[in-house]
């Protein structure tokens, strides 16, 4: 259901192969210290950046958890700042360090690191503008400059003529997020993610080849009732999250750090939420997904696969944190269905139900 090769919003998993089987592996935890206007955190966990109701295109939080250090500061009511540096999983074998043992090969993997910062301005109440940048790097030793919380990482790894001849030492990103709740019951939001921002991209048109943008809105309490409408559109161009060097992709554990659909894709998501009475929730949604035929196809005229999915879900909270659920799904798949979990690779109707007890 959550294999790295499928397109799903569900959280990914690390799988340790052993003999004829394997083990699911996940552990989360950390330690933090806080003061009046900030905090520090050392943890192995998930985190998400970017407003959304159906998957962020900046940092989605769906990869298996990885260790990171985080610094958060809020020195003023109108300013919020977050910095993280993380140790990712490259899943790329370093042959120069790997060696033979009696029953196989002891593999070493390339080190892979992420540093990112985001600053949020709140000039007026319920209006947030966020600017941020990040860098993916690969080196045998950790670069101390990645610990600096105030660098513009796009230029942090430059090193003169040697760097000009080989740009493979880092892969940088830039992103913007806007969120406003100033118009009554409306939440309007938009985010833009750009890979390897540089002035050389503008003259030759490459500026449009490495973008992912998302825009949407949610209006709550329509007609003064517990009825909400959400609409969201996402478009990602072919060279946004991938990279010519496999150790520098915007991935960890082979899962995309950004939007779950990956490169050369678009999505339209519409959902109605209704709470007729306490504890009872009805959700109806339509999701149209399209994925381009190849990574270097700049249009979606030749689709590799598409999916128009209808979902209807009921949820009732019997007692506090105890739910029963019932769901109905209908998919209309075009092209190959390999990007969906096997159970969803059908146009037949799917019915699901369950019980969820939280502690």
> For 126-155, how does the pLDDT look when each residue is reduced to its tens digit (9 = 90+)?
999 999 999 998 877 777 777 877 777 666
Task: Residue 230: name the closest of 87, 52, 8, 24 by CA.
Answer: 52
Helix ranges (DSSP H) in 149-289: 160-165
Phi, psi (deg, nearest 5) at residue 114:
-130, 130
Give SS3 for 201: helix
CA distance 93 to 348: 41
Q: How far is CA 30 from the centre of its chain?
A: 21
The partner residues of 65 in beta bridges, in order of sequence, read none
**pLDDT digits 0-9 by tens, 238-283:** 889 988 888 889 999 999 999 999 998 999 999 999 999 999 999 9
CA distance 214 to 251: 19
Q: What is the pTM of this model?
A: 0.88
CA distance 136 to 282: 41
Q: Which residues of the chain have pLDDT under 50?
A: 159-168
Half-sphere exposure of 29 (CA within 13 A, CB side): 2
């Amino acid at each position: 259901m959550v294999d790295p090769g499928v397109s799903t919003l569900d959280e990914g998993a690390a799988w340790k192969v052993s003999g004829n089987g394997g083990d699911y592996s996940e552990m989360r935890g950390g330690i933090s210290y806080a003061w009046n206007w900030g905090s520090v955190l050392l943890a192995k966990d998930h985190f998400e950046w970017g407003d959304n109701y159906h998957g962020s295109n900046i940092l989605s939080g769906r990869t298996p958890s990885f260790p990171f250090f985080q610094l958060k500061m809020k020195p003023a009511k109108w300013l919020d700042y977050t910095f993280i540096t993380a140790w990712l999983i490259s899943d790329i074998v370093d042959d120069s360090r790997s060696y033979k043992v009696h029953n196989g090969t002891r593999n070493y993997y390339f080190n892979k690191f992420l540093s990112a910062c985001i600053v949020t301005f709140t000039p007026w109440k319920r209006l947030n503008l966020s600017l941020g940048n990040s860098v993916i790097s690969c080196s045998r030793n950790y670069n101390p400059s990645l610990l600096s919380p105030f660098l513009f990482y796009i230029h942090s790894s430059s090193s003169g003529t040697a760097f000009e001849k080989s740009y493979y030492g880092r892969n940088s990103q830039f992103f913007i997020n806007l969120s406003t709740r100033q118009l009554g019951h409306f939440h309007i939001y938009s985010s833009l993610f750009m890979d390897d921002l540089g002035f050389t991209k503008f003259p030759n048109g490459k500026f449009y080849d490495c973008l992912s943008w998302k825009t949407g809105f949610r209006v709550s309490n329509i007609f003064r009732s517990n009825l909400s409408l959400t609409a969201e559109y996402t478009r990602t161009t072919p060279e946004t999250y991938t990279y010519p060097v496999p150790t520098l992709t915007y991935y960890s554990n082979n899962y995309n750090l950004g939007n779950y659909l990956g490169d050369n894709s678009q999505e339209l998501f519409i959902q109605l939420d209704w709470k007729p009475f306490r504890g009872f929730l009805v959700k109806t949604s339509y999701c149209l997904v399209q994925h381009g035929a190849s990574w270097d196809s700049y249009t979606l005229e030749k689709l590799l696969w598409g999916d128009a999915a209808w979902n209807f879900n009921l949820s009732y909270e019997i007692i506090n944190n105890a739910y029963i659920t019932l769901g109905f799904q209908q998919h209309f798949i075009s092209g190959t269905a390999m990007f969906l979990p096997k159970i969803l690779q059908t146009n037949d109707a799917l019915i699901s139900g369950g019980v969820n007890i939280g502690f």
